Amino acid sequence: MTKLELTQWNRSVLTKISNSANALEKDKPFFKEIILFYKKIFLSQYESDPDIVKDYSCFTNHKDFPCINIKDFDIDFTNAEKTFKNICKICIDSGKEMSFTAGTMLESIDKKDVLFKILVEIYLQKDHGLPELFLKKKEFKPEVFDFIVYNSMKPSIVKSSRIIASYLNKQDQAGQGACPVCGSLPALSVLSEENGARSLVCSFCWHEWETARITCPFCGNHNNKTLGYCLIENEKGIRADYCDKCKKYIKTIDLREYGHDCHYPLELLGSMPFDMKMQEKGYSSE
């Protein structure tokens, strides 16, 4: 990794990914293998910086949310294809259930049976269906296809979203249930290190926006008689907030207590015990 042009932001994310993975591996030895696998994937996303050329200045002081449809994010296809190849190789090397699908996808791109751009279109427009050359293979898993294509584009999505968000006012976005940038539902909620203010984190573009402390992001319920939270012993600085009105839950990280660097996609995986517990109790996530 000598001559790669890493922006300062990329470098800080790479550090966060490593620190977060190290802390999770130490705290949760039973997740070690899975954390190591995802750490490789997430690190590969920040090894180079996508070139986002679209002018998003039309969103200056924009108040009509969401700003864009997920299909309209500007993607640096050269960067995304490079990341795609790296992710496929990581999945193949893992020797796990993702190997076959990743191998099939990589081969189809290398042989030019299908263009990478088409895979992205298929992912973004779900109604298109997978190409015949994938469908005829029994072991091909559509969910692995989604995982690989999404994670290949993610650096471009995150960067586009950061650019769009830079034109928005924080207070205009406050209290939105869905992501003000792309309209996707939140994957996580975070209480800030400074004063415990609550933000939601988008499950698609990872944008963060402020919200009320006691409100269900999914149905807007703010009656504290039907809202609650669930803790797990030895899980410090994290809980699951649930709503009895819509039966949904969201995991909340309290950065004042969490105790280590956060890379949200990794934290989502490391907090799986909460998903098991909440799903057992009949709640679902986004």
Among 75, 88, 91, 179, binds Zn ion (CB under 5 A): 179
Contact yes or no for 262/20 (Cβ under 8 A): yes
Nearer to Zn ion, 84 or 204 (CB): 204
Neighbours of 85 (CB within 10 A): 17
Residue 62 lies near Zn ion (rule: CB under 5 A) = no
Residue count, binding to Zn ion (CB under 5 A) = 15
Distance CA 150, CA 195 (A): 34
Nearer to Zn ion, 205 or 262 (CB): 205
Residue 181 lies near Zn ion (rule: CB under 5 A) = yes
- Smallest gap from Cβ 203 to Zn ion, in A, equals 7
Span from 27-35, 38-46, 162-170, 205-213 in contact with Zn ion (CB under 5 A): 205-213
Tell how strand 186-191 and strand 248-254 pair up: parallel
Span from 12-20, 86-94, 100-108, 183-191 in contact with Zn ion (CB under 5 A): 183-191
Residue entry with tokens 């839950």: 249
How is residue 275 written in tokens? 């998903």
Distance CA 143, CA 237 (A): 31
Span from 34-42, 131-139, 146-154, 182-190 in contact with Zn ion (CB under 5 A): 182-190
How is residue 210 written in tokens? 């402020």
Span from 51-59, 144-152, 189-197, 213-221 in contact with Zn ion (CB under 5 A): 213-221
Distances, alpha carbon 216 to alpha carbons 99, 158, 179, 247, in Å: 38, 25, 14, 10
CA atoms within 13 A on the CB side of 210: 12
Nearer to Zn ion, 35 or 181 (CB): 181
- Please calculate the CA angle 29-30-31 and round it to the nearest 5 degrees: 90
Strand ranges inside the chain, DSSP E: 186-191, 198-202, 208-211, 227-230, 238-243, 248-254
Residue 207 lies near Zn ion (rule: CB under 5 A) = yes
Nearer to Zn ion, 62 or 207 (CB): 207
Q: Within positions 216 to 275, which residues make up the interface with Zn ion, using CB under 5 A?
A: 216, 218-219, 221, 243, 245-246
Nearer to Zn ion, 195 or 224 (CB): 224
Contact yes or no for 267/188 (Cβ under 8 A): yes
Nearer to Zn ion, 164 or 253 (CB): 164
Q: Which residues bind Zn ion (CB under 5 A)?
A: 179, 181-182, 184, 202, 204-205, 207, 216, 218-219, 221, 243, 245-246
